[in-house]
Every structure is written in C-alpha cells, then in structure tokens.
Structure 1
Amino acid sequence: MRQDNPRQDQSSAASSSTSSLRQAIEVVSSLISFSDGIRVFPVKWQMLRNKLEELNTSLIAIANCDSTQNPILSGLVSAIILAANNCYDLARSCVDLSYSGKLLMQSDLDVMAAKFDRLLKNLSGICTAGVLTQGFAIVVSKPGLNACKDDMRFYVRDLLTRMKIGDTEMKRQALVNLREVVVEDERYFRVIVEVGDIVHILVNLLDSPEIGIQEEAAKVVSLISGFDSFKPVLVGSGVIGPLVRVLEIGSVLGKEAAARSLQKLTEKSDNAWSVSAHGGVTALLKICASADSNEELIGPASGVLRNLVGVEEIKRFMIEEGVVSRFIKLARSRGEAVQISSIEFLQNIASGDESVRQLVVREGGIRALVHLLDPKISSTYKFREIALRAIENLCFSSKSCINILTNYGFLDQLLFFLRNGDVSIQELALKVSFKLSGTSEEAKKAMGDTGFMSEFVRFLDAKSFEVREMASEALTGMVSVPKNRKIFVQDDRNIGFLLQLLDQEEANSSGNKKFLISILISLTSSNNGRRKIVNSGYLKNIEKLAEAEVSDAKRLVRKLSTNRFRSMLNGLWHS
C-alpha cells in the first residue's frame, strides 16, 4: 500500500493556491479593462472599478505569500473569482444593453458593489492578521526608466497595497521605494494621482506612531507638493494638519520634509489660514527660536513664515510674538543659508509697512545688515546681493536711516565693493550706489566726501551700456551739488577723462553724450571747472557737437563763453 508524501501534498497545495491567486488577478484585471467600455450607469461602474482596483492591488501584493498554509485565504480567493465572474456577466449585459430593466440592473450593481466591499474587508483583515509579512511578500521589480504606464501603475499599486496592509517595515520600505521612483521619473507623479487612494494613504501615514514611517511619508509628500497641479489634491486630502503635527512631534528629518512641503503649499498664500488654524505659525516660530534647530530645518521653516506674512492678521500675530527680533538674531548668529532666509523674511514682513520697517530699525536690523556686509567676512555673491537689496529696501526711503547707515560705515563698505571683487560684485555695488545717490542731497554730499565720484568716472567707459548709463546718471546728480563739484574739479584727470570720452562718443555716434554733456554743464558753474575745460584742448570737438545740433552742446558752449571766458573762445564759436 503506497504512503502519501506530506511534502508532495504541501507542494501540490501551494501550486494550486498560487494558481488560484493568479487566476483571480487575471479575472479581476480583465474585468477592470472590460468595464472601461461601459457607457450606461457610469457612476455605479466607476464605484465598482474603484473597488476592483483595490482588490487587484491587494491580490498582486500577496500573490507569493505563504498562502498554502492559510485555507481561509484560499477560500476567499475562490469567492473573489466567483464574484468577478458574476460581475463580468453584468458587465456584458450593460455593454450589449441586454438587461431586462434599469432599476433591476442598478439594484444588481449595488449588490455587487456591497459584495466586493465585504471581500476587500475580509482580505484586508486576513493580511493584517499576519499573512502579508515581509518574509512572505512577493517583491515586485521596479520598472525600467522607459517603462510603459501600465507597468508603472502596476508597481505603484503594489506599493500602495504594502502601505495599506503591510507590517511596519514593509510600509516604510514601500515609502522609500515610492520616493526613489518619483525622484528618478517624474511620470510617476501622475500615476500616483491616478491610482486611487494613494494620496489619502500618504496623508494618513503622516500621523503614524512609527517615526520611520512618518518620516518617509513626509519626504514623499514633500516631493509631490513641488508640482502645482498636485497641490490641490494634497490640500483636498487634508495634508496641512498632519504636516503641522510632524513639525511639532516628528523627527528632525521628518520636520525638514514637512517644512519643505508647507513652504511649497503656501507659495501663493492660498493655504495660509489652514496652516494658522492648525497651529502651524506657533510651531514654525518655535522651530526658528530653538537652538537645537539646524539650518536645513530653519531655512524652509522661515520660508513658510515668509509666505504667510501676506495675510495681515497672521503678520500681526507674528509681530506680537516677537518675530522681528527673533529673525534679526538669526541673521547675526547662524550660517549663510539661515542668514539669507532671515534677511528675506525681514524684507517681506516690512514691505509696504512703515511701522514694521521702523521696528526692524529699532531692533537693530540696520546694524546687523551692515555688519554682515563686512568685506572681511567671506560671503557668496548671492548673500551680498540679498543683504544689499535689504538695505536698499529698508533704508533708502528714510533720511534718518541713511544717516544711521553712514554712521555704521556702510558707505565705506559700498565703496570697497565698487573698487574690489569680480565684475558682478562691482556692478551690483554700482546699482546700489546709483540708487543711494538719488535719495537726497545729504546722501550725495556724504558720497562725495567718501570718494564715490572718482569710481563713477571709472565706470564711464565700461563695456556694458547699462553700467555706463548708471555711472553717468549718478555722476550727473553728484556734481549738481556745489560741494561735490569743488571736489570733482580738483582732480585734473576727471575733466580730461570726461572730455576724452565725449570725443570717443562723438566718433562712435553712440553712448552717453547726454549725460556727459550734462556733467560738463554742471562743472561750468565752477570757475575752476570752466578753466580746465577751456584749457583741455577739446573745445573744437565741443564746437562740432554744437554745430551738429547735439542736445545741450550749444548750451555748454554758451556756458563756456560767458564773461571773461568769451575772449578765450573768440574764433571758436560764432553765434
């Protein structure tokens, strides 16, 4: 009498169970595809397809579980196959329009939807009870870079199932894998949105008690929130509240990802009130005030606050909480990345608000900015640019602030950048100097005493037309001040260089004649200036310009022809 081999029986059972799973996947997948062509009862069929999609992803994920020792799962798979076949009969009737009545068909579809719902809950319960574990789950291979959309969708559905019903490590690894494919191929963003429920699952996982899962979910959300078209999907799924909770209790990496997400989601201030309502402003201020917060966290946290200052009520709350002094302290004490974020925040919160601008000044904001521009401190071009722009925006509209700048040595710093460094830094300093020279006569006098005019002269023959024009216009304004004219004409090289440039401009028929002539006209108000122009040897060139009807050239000649200079010019000009 032959004895049965237990191992052979188990192997046979395993093969049979695996075959049933594969059959269930094929039947459900086929039903999903077939139902896409149904044009009647669209709402009910869409509801059925959603349930079938969930069922399919769950079946795929457990296709290689240790199901041979779980008869309950085997029975459930058989029930799924039977239900799918029955649903296929309903689908065929809807495609052929061969059903006996609309009300009866709608009732049948409702019954079928309820049946699939029960099957889903039973399957989820079995998997949660331990069938779907890291040791037994099939590992679906990541599609290649040129994979078709169906393969990508299959992979994402598998990851979704693991996030829903896997154990802790499986959920965490599924999130890691999802983040990796999203970074590698942006097409996955659209697949994520198309695969139902995945965004909701991500939002739910942000509240996971497992720090590792919460952290990875925050990283994935941070990536998705970078796409404008997907921001409404995230916000509509309630992501703001969980992100704020991660800021409050999450790990350092989780907080960084949450802050980056909120910064992207609040770029247009549409979600400002939601962040505030969930306590986000307080959490962000706490982060920026904490000595334990690193630069990678403070940067995006301050970025969120910067986005929120556009809402007046939120801005006032921040001010009441001492945000101005807090960010001035950050600008003084942290690395360059945090300093840049802090300066940009101070600019935003003071923009268009004179009372806040004055508060920034009272709290030592100008002193801090001038200190940060110390040439002895090594800084990038971006940092210099942001600091100079901040000084321009915060100080140039106020005479008292310009006086404070002067007292703190800002003019010496600005002059240093005009004279030193690469071209980009010098041109940046020129732009700021140009704007400063147009603020007031007091500013012009201070700049004249410091030595700016000779630097403006140096830029008059720069390659860039924009630079030449700025230097010419700034110098025109500077020499309109009597004290500055006196300083300017003391250096013989200044007038000689202007006349030489005017000759070159005339020869090239381009450039800044208007400003050059305007400067010379201003200099004729000084006896010493007129004398040096007359004795320069360039009078014939000026005469040619006047004869050519060049703007203001005749006026310049007339200025030179007055009083005791008339005899010197006799023969050079005849009116």
Structure 2
Amino acid sequence: MGEASVKESISSLISLSHSIKSFTVKWQLIRTKLEELYSGITSVENLNSDFDPSLSTLINAILDSLQESHDLASRCLNVSFSGKLLMQSDLDVMSGKFDRHVRNLSRIYSSEILRHGFAIVVSKPSDKACRDDMRFYVRDLLTRMKIGDVEMKKQALVKLNESMEEDDRYMKIVVETSDMVNVLIEFLDSEIGIQEEACKALFLISGFDSYKPVLIRSCVVGPLVRVLENGNVVGREASARCLMKLTENSENAWSVSAHGGVAALLKICSCGEFGGELIASSCGVLRNLVGVEEIKRYMIEEDMVSTFIKLIGSRDEIVQVNSIDLLSSMCCRDEESREILVRGGGIQELVLVSDPNTFSSSKSKEMALRAIHNLCFGSVSYLNALLSSRFLDHLLYLLRNGETSVQESALKVTSRLCSLPADVKRIMGDAGFIPELVRFLDAKSLRVREMASEALYYLISVPKNRKKFLQEDCNISYILQLLDQEERMNERSDLGNTKSLILILISLTSCNSARRKISASGYLKIIEKLAEREDSDAKKLVKKLSRNRFHTILGGIWHS
C-alpha cells in the first residue's frame, strides 16, 4: 500500500508542478527526479521479492519529502513565499532529497535483483502500450544498465536495441530519458560485449536526423573513434556505421579528424584482415569527409588513392560500391587525384567492373558507369585509357542486356561519348550503337528518350553513320511515327521529346532520298503544324523540305 500512495502522490505533484510559473528550471529538475523515483518504486514493486525492512523506512521518508514538496509547490503557485533566494535554496534542498531517495531505491533494487537472480529483463510492453508503460520499461532497462553485473547490462542493452528496432517510439523515449545517452556512450569504453550493443544502440539513434545533435553534444565521436581503433569487428562495424550517419553533416567532419578518426579509418581500409562490412562503412565515412580539402589532401599524401583502387576489385559488392563512390568524390573535382587514379590503373579497374563476364553485381556496374561518366572525360589521355580497355564492347552489351538502372547509366555514358569528336562517333557507329539508340527512342522514361535521341543526333551528324542509319528503310518512318506520338503527348502534358526528333530529321535532310521520303510521308502536316506554333527547329525543317519540293518542280519543268 505504501508504494501505491507514493506513486499517487508523485503523480499529483508532477501534475501540480506544471502549473507553476516561477523557478521553472528548478521545478523541471525536481520533475526529472520525481519521474526517476516513480520508475524506481515501480521497479521494486515488480520484483515480487520478500519484504525488505529498509524499503518501509525509505517509503516513509519519501512520503515526508513529497509532503514538503507539495507545500513548496503550493507556495510557489500562490507566490506566497518570503523571498526568492530562500525559496531557491529550499527547492535545491528538496531536489537533493529526491536524488538521495532515487539512489537508495536503486541500491535496494540492485540487492534484490542480485539476491534473487532476476537477471532476465522484464517483458516489453505490447505494441498498443501507452507511452508511460514504454517509458517505465526504458527506465527499468536503464536501472539494470547502471546497477547490474556485466551479463545483466548486456541483456538490458540487447532488449533496448530490439525495442528500438521494432518501434521507433522507443528511440524518442531513450533520447529524452535522463542519463540514457550518456550511459550508452560510457559503455563504448566498457567490456567488448557491452561495447558492441552500445554501438548498435547509438547507430540506431543516429539514423534519425533530429537526434544526431543530441549525440554530438554528448561528445560521442571520441569514444566511437576509440572503438574503431581497439574494438572487435562487430563493435567497429557499428561504430563506423554510426560515424557514417553522423558525418552526413559535414560540420562533424573536423570532430572525427580531431579525435584521430581519419587515420583509424585509413588503417582499416588498408588492412586486408577486416571484413567487407567494416571496410565498406569506413569508405562511407571517408566519403563524407573528403569534402574537407585538408582531409582530402592528407588522404592523397598518404597514397590512399591506390588503396581504394585495389578495393574496387573486391568480391564484396558493398566494398566495390562504397570504394567507387569514395574515389568519385575524391577525384571528380581534383585533377591531381584524378591523374593518380589514371596512372594507378583506376580506369581499367572500373572497366573491369562493367565487364559482363565478371562477378560484379548490377549495383556495382551502375556505380562504375557513373564513375566513368564523372572521371574519364577530362582529357584525351583519360579517354584513350577508357577506349583502349574494350569498354565499348561492355557498354554495348549493357545497353542491350543490362537491368533498367544499369541501362540508364550506360545510356548516359553513351550520350557523353557521342558528343565527342567525329573519330569517336565513327568508332561507335561501326561498333553497332545506332540500332540500340533507336530502340531506346520509344522508352517509357522521357529522360531515357531524350538521352537516346540526343546521342543518335550526334552519331548521325557523321556522314558514314548517317548512311548506316538510312540503310534500314524503316528508320525514317519510325522517327516520324515517334514524332507523331510525342506531339500527341505534348498536347496532353507538355512532356514530349519533339525537339530532339526534329533535330534528327533536320540532320537526315542532308540526304536527298531522306528528304524525299519525309516530304512524301503522311506526317508532313504534323511538321508544318509545329512550325506554325513558332517552333524554330520545325520551321528550319519545313524550309529544308520546301527547298527539296521546289527543286523537284524545277526539275520537272526542265525535263518537260
């Protein structure tokens, strides 16, 4: 009965304190202590242990303190106190009393748990549990983390992680619970098993942008770096993943560097004894850090570009993907690192990933194609290194047979290649790219249609390729059919690909037979309609076709 009276009195006092407008900071501190006290009393109740005589004495003392606190609350509420300084002192004294009561309850709770062997954590509330039940469960876990032995602490952490993984609401309660984040961070310097679970918990919390500042303010980076340096593989993986989340905000990059994190991450990437998950996560953190020029320069000076090139050849997809992403970020806007990449065989490694006959996954191939697009068009030497590696064969195969995302990346690179000088266009025409680009002109994605038509326009600007295109009698008719389709789409949504198709037709009019075929088709009215709408390209096409008709009329008169 004593415990029930205390809990009722605590609830009443907490409710009353929210109405107090003076000394709000002091009352907030007292409320925190009262919530801990409520949780502690509930925890003792749930032990179902034999009666402890010291608990009765403590309950009476708590009731006396609550009575005093109710009196202070009434005086603050009615502003009937004699002086502010004296009331502040009384509130500090009361806060101290509640703090002692919490510690004494924790001692009783600890002794009862250890005496009765209650190492198993209490059951998690149901999915429909109210917030108060969830908060009690978290506070119970926190108590066990504070006073339990190694095994009990580990079990409490495991249960905490399971709860946060199953229900995001626990994340907010954990962050709001006094001391919880600090305890988790302290555990990073604890025994290996506890360290692992604490890393997992912090990683889960770091997945929410609104909670990252709480971790940073609690100085989590230094302990995470120490785990990277000295923890086991599981702990290091969780630490690296947590740092990867935290460094998505570039402002935290210097904090990682200041605690020696860059050196620790580079060591992991250079060491062949670690598993793929750890290396990949370390690459992910470094990817977030290379935006800081000084950190990137340090990595280049440590010859890390060559290390990351080697990682491209990993058989682990996640290592391939993250190392390619890291190299792209390092070299995209830095000529020195890009030259190191080329000299170190980086382009050949990227081409090897794109090879259909290698073990690399579709995701790896997609990342390799993106990197090639971003890195290999800076100079003639880069382009020569690319084209001398049988890359066009791989690219053509991926256009024909790759998964949708890979095909789109391949098409983007193809379009970039088609914009290069005539020699490259001729090579691509001979390699068989024209039929594949024609095939993409009717794709569902507007972006894909635009890239394909633009690439085709570039290719047929070379007479040899234009001749290849016109050798297929159906190609001109197909372009005109697509123009009709795109024009209908334009009328409905203004999202057609009309412009690019008109440019292709303009290019084809340099051939007499093509001009005659377009003029004789049933689609000429569509082109004229576009020209009437002030479409400059359509006007240009009509002009070219009209000149052809004029010459035909003159020819007829001449021969009559």
The TM-score by the shorter chain falls in which range?
Answer: 0.7 to 0.9
- Assess if the C-alpha contact under 8 Å between 2:34 and 2:98 holds in 1: yes
Is residue 173 of structure 1 aligned with residue 151 of structure 2?
no
C-alpha separation in 1, matches of 2:352 and 2:74 = 78
- Assess if the C-alpha contact under 8 Å between 1:489 and 1:495 holds in 2: no
Q: After TM superposition, give the deviation of residue 45 of structure 1 in Å.
A: 1.7
- Assess if the C-alpha contact under 8 Å between 1:162 and 1:170 holds in 2: yes
C-alpha separation in 1, matches of 2:272 and 2:32 = 48
Q: After TM superposition, give the deviation of residue 503 of structure 1 in Å.
A: 6.1
| Greater shift in the superposed pair: 259-268 or 93-102 | 93-102
What is the one-letter code of the residue matched to 1:91?
A
- Assess if the C-alpha contact under 8 Å between 1:67 and 1:73 holds in 2: no
Pair 1:81–1:517, CA change in 2 (3 A): closer
Q: After TM superposition, give the deviation of residue 543 of structure 1 in Å.
A: 7.0
What is the one-letter code of the residue matched to 2:414?
S
Is residue 283 of structure 1 aligned with residue 264 of structure 2?
yes
What is the one-letter code of the residue matched to 1:233?
V
Tell me which of 378, 388, 405 is aligned to 1:407.
388
Residues 333-348 of structure 1 correspond to what in structure 2 (within 5 A)? Answer: 333-348=314-329
Q: After TM superposition, give the deviation of residue 454 of structure 1 in Å.
A: 3.3
C-alpha separation in 1, matches of 2:503 and 2:72 = 90
Pair 1:323–1:559, CA change in 2 (3 A): farther
User: Which runs of 5 or more residues in structure 2 are unaligned?
Assistant: 489-495, 532-537
What is the one-letter code of the residue matched to 1:174?
A
Partner of 1:478: 459
What is the one-letter code of the residue matched to 2:370?
R
- Assess if the C-alpha contact under 8 Å between 1:462 and 1:468 holds in 2: yes
Q: After TM superposition, give the deviation of residue 433 of structure 1 in Å.
A: 0.6
Partner of 1:248: 229
C-alpha separation in 2, matches of 1:459 and 1:428 = 13
Residues 290-305 of structure 1 correspond to what in structure 2 (within 5 A)? Answer: 290-305=271-286
C-alpha separation in 1, matches of 2:160 and 2:485 = 67
Tell me which of 16, 29, 37 is aligned to 1:47.
29
Partner of 1:260: 241
- Assess if the C-alpha contact under 8 Å between 1:214 and 1:254 holds in 2: yes
Tell me which of 480, 486, 490 is aligned to 1:502.
480
- Assess if the C-alpha contact under 8 Å between 1:370 and 1:410 holds in 2: yes
What is the one-letter code of the residue matched to 2:539?
S
Aligned to 1:551, the other structure's residue is in SS state helix
Partner of 1:327: 308
- Assess if the C-alpha contact under 8 Å between 2:228 and 2:236 holds in 1: yes
Q: After TM superposition, give the deviation of residue 540 of structure 1 in Å.
A: 6.0
**TM-score normalised to structure 1 length:** 0.85
User: Which runs of 5 or more residues in structure 1 are unaligned?
Assistant: 1-18
Aligned to 1:196, the other structure's residue is in SS state coil
Q: After TM superposition, give the deviation of residue 568 of structure 1 in Å.
A: 8.8
- Assess if the C-alpha contact under 8 Å between 2:39 and 2:140 holds in 1: yes
Q: After TM superposition, give the deviation of residue 232 of structure 1 in Å.
A: 0.8
Pair 1:186–1:520, CA change in 2 (3 A): closer
Partner of 1:444: 425
**TM-score normalised to structure 2 length:** 0.87
Partner of 2:141: 159
Is residue 308 of structure 1 aligned with residue 289 of structure 2?
yes
- Assess if the C-alpha contact under 8 Å between 2:366 and 2:405 holds in 1: no
Cα deviation code 1:494-539 (max 9, x no counterpart):
35522453366459855766555644554565xxx43x43786964
What is the one-letter code of the residue matched to 2:99?
D
Residues 61-76 of structure 1 correspond to what in structure 2 (within 5 A)? Answer: 61-63=43-45, 71-72=53-54, 74-76=56-58
Partner of 1:552: 540
- Assess if the C-alpha contact under 8 Å between 2:476 and 2:514 holds in 1: no
After superposition, the CA RMSD in angstroms is: 3.2
Partner of 1:95: 77
- Assess if the C-alpha contact under 8 Å between 2:247 and 2:285 holds in 1: yes
Q: After TM superposition, give the deviation of residue 471 of structure 1 in Å.
A: 2.8
Cα deviation code 1:30-67 (max 9, x no counterpart):
43333233222222222222233333333333335597
C-alpha separation in 2, matches of 1:463 and 1:108 = 74
Aligned to 1:396, the other structure's residue is in SS state coil
C-alpha separation in 1, matches of 2:22 and 2:502 = 82
Pair 1:80–1:422, CA change in 2 (3 A): closer
Pair 1:255–1:560, CA change in 2 (3 A): same
Pair 1:508–1:354, CA change in 2 (3 A): closer
Aligned to 1:40, the other structure's residue is in SS state coil
- Name the count of aligned residue pairs: 543
C-alpha separation in 2, matches of 1:227 and 1:560 = 66
What is the one-letter code of the residue matched to 2:480?
L
Q: After TM superposition, give the deviation of residue 358 of structure 1 in Å.
A: 1.6
